[in-house]
């Protein structure tokens, strides 16, 4: 027989066990996941509050009932075989909604009283205690994540469709620009040639007023041809069709050639180009024709924005593996509000000097694209006093 002390100890232990069980049950009810336990007879022996709310099945309906009685629609489904594997083979599994189209018929109520299916991630784990086998099923609500993925998929499809439309529009714009430019360039070249012959006196001496009109027509034709050529270059750059033939280039030879080509242009503005002391034998890695195009643009810009009678200076500076070519003018400089946009397409300062000399506003944008394609850098400095220095940094040629 048990003594009174043994009886008291037994009662205390039983009370403590009941308190712990009650506490454990409350902890499970506070869980943000669904939890239920199945014994070796496939009967539900634990059912937390989350499961009550999501399944609308109270504990009195579920406790002690067979799993397939609680979820008759899941008989023969993958989840039943996974629970059997956990109990018989002690195998843990993870199931997700994307791989298993029907897991548990669980819902939550939205505003308005409509029920929405809970998207689930389900973990099934075998548990052994006191020689008995159990299966713990944990259900995680992944509905928000699935909804976000759905939204992202829709946005991705919309972005893909928008990109296709944009690419098609870009192709159409490029083809249209190229076609129109070519169609305009041919007759304009013919017109320029004819006007040039007339202006030269081949057709006879012109009256002063007629000569003035012919001169205006020649100048405007030249401007149109410059604009068309610039637009074609921009179109090629944007479509990636502009070609480069990279190789060793004698920098001094290219500079002298560019100065000679622009000398007559400088004389129109009564500006003289001066190449400061440059050591020969500097070889850069570039495309000769494209480098000439950039230098011509910088030299012509410097002449346009310089006062009459001044010099445009060209300097060459070695910088480690690069060489810098500077073109300095002594004009009125660059307006502060224009500096951030100077390399943008069709960008021109609003000063009277710019309006007086004109221009397409594409030259610097084209030059920037060309220099960067050749692995270089283009930029500008505004020194103290008057004028602007535009520079390009080009890679020195290195023998392999």
- Mean pLDDT over 223-241 rounds to 73
CATH topology for 243-400 is Heat Shock Protein 90 (3.30.565)
**Concatenated DSSP letters of 106-141:** -EEEPTTS-EEEPPEEEEEEEEEETTEEEEEEEEEE
Q: Is the pLDDT of residue 1 over 50?
A: no
Q: Is the pLDDT of residue 26 over 80?
A: no
pLDDT at 38: 94
Q: Where in the chain is the domain with CATH 3.30.565.10?
A: 243-400
What band does 331 get if pLDDT is binned at 50, 70 and 90? confident
pLDDT at 35: 93
Q: Where in the chain is the domain with CATH 1.10.287.130?
A: 162-241
- What percentage of the chain carries pLDDT values higher than 90? 32
- Mean pLDDT over 72-94 rounds to 91
With contact defined as beta carbons under 8 Å apart, do 285 and 215 qualify? no
Give the Cβ contact number of residue 18 at 10 Å: 10
Q: Where in the chain is the domain with CATH 3.30.450.20?
A: 19-141
What CATH class has 19-141?
alpha beta
Crossing angle for the helix pair 288-304 and 363-373, to the nearest 10 degrees: 150
- Mean pLDDT over 22-28 rounds to 70
pLDDT at 349: 56
Return the minimum-mean-pLDDT range out of 87-101, 123-137, 353-367.
353-367
Return the minimum-mean-pLDDT range out of 66-75, 295-304, 336-345.
336-345
What CATH class has 162-241?
mainly alpha
Task: Report pLDDT digits (tens) over 134-178.
Answer: 999 999 998 888 888 888 888 888 888 888 887 787 777 767 766
Between 84 and 13, where is the model more confident? 84
Measure the N-to-C terminal CA separation of the chain; round to a whole number of Å. 102
Give the Cβ contact number of residue 263 at 10 Å: 14
Cα–Cα distance measured from residue 170 to residue 237, given in angstroms and rounded to the nearest whole number: 12
Cα–Cα distance measured from residue 357 to residue 223, given in angstroms and rounded to the nearest whole number: 11
With contact defined as beta carbons under 8 Å apart, do 319 and 393 qualify? yes
Q: Is the pLDDT of residue 370 over 60?
A: yes
- Mean pLDDT over 252-261 rounds to 91
What band does 360 get if pLDDT is binned at 50, 70 and 90? low
What band does 108 get if pLDDT is binned at 50, 70 and 90? confident
What band does 34 get if pLDDT is binned at 50, 70 and 90? very high
- 305: buried, middle or exposed (CB in 10 Å: 19+, 13-18, 0-12)? buried
Largest CA distance in the chain: 146
Q: Is the dihedral of CA 228, 232, 237, 242 positive or negative?
A: negative
């Amino acid at each position: 027989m048990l003594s009174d002390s043994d009886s008291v100890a037994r009662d205390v232990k039983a009370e403590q066990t009941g308190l712990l069980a009650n506490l454990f049950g409350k902890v499970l009810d506070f869980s943000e996941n669904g939890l239920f336990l199945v014994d070796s007879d496939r009967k539900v022996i634990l059912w937390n509050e989350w499961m009550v709310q999501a399944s609308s099945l109270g504990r009195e309906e579920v406790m002690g009932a067979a799993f397939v009685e609680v979820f008759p629609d899941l008989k023969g489904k993958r989840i039943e075989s996974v629970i059997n594997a956990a109990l018989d083979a002690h195998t843990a599994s993870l199931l997700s909604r994307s791989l298993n189209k029907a897991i548990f018929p669980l819902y939550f109520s939205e505003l308005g009283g409509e029920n929405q299916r809970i998207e689930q991630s389900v973990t099934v784990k075998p548990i052994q205690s006191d020689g008995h086998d159990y299966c713990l099923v944990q259900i995680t609500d992944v509905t928000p994540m699935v909804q976000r993925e759905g939204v992202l998929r829709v946005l991705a499809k919309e972005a893909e469709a928008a990109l296709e439309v944009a690419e098609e529009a870009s192709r159409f714009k490029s083809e249209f620009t190229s076609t129109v430019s070519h169609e305009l360039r041919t007759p304009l070249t013919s017109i320029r040639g004819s006007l040039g012959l007339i202006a030269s006196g081949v057709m006879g001496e012109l009256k002063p007023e007629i000569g003035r009109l012919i001169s205006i027509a020649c100048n405007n034709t030249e401007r149109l041809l410059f604009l068309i050529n610039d637009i074609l270059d921009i179109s090629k750059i944007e479509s990636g069709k502009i070609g480069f033939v990279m190789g060793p280039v004698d920098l001094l030879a290219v500079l002298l050639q560019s100065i000679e080509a622009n000398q007559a242009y400088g004389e129109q503005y009564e500006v003289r180009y001066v190449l400061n002391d440059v050591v020969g034998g500097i070889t850069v890695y570039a495309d000769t024709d494209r480098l000439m195009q950039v230098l011509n643009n910088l030299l012509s810009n410097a002449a346009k924005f310089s006062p009459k009678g001044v010099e445009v200076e060209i300097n060459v500076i070695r910088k480690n593996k690069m060489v810098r070519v500077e073109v300095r003018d002594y004009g009125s400089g660059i307006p502060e509000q224009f500096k951030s946009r100077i390399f943008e397409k069709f960008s021109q300062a609003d000063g009277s000097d710019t309006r007086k000399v004109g221009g397409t506003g594409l030259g610097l944008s084209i030059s920037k694209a060309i220099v960067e394609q050749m692995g270089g850098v283009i930029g500008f400095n505004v020194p103290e006093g008057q004028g602007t220095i535009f520079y390009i940094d080009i890679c020195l040629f290195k023998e392999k």
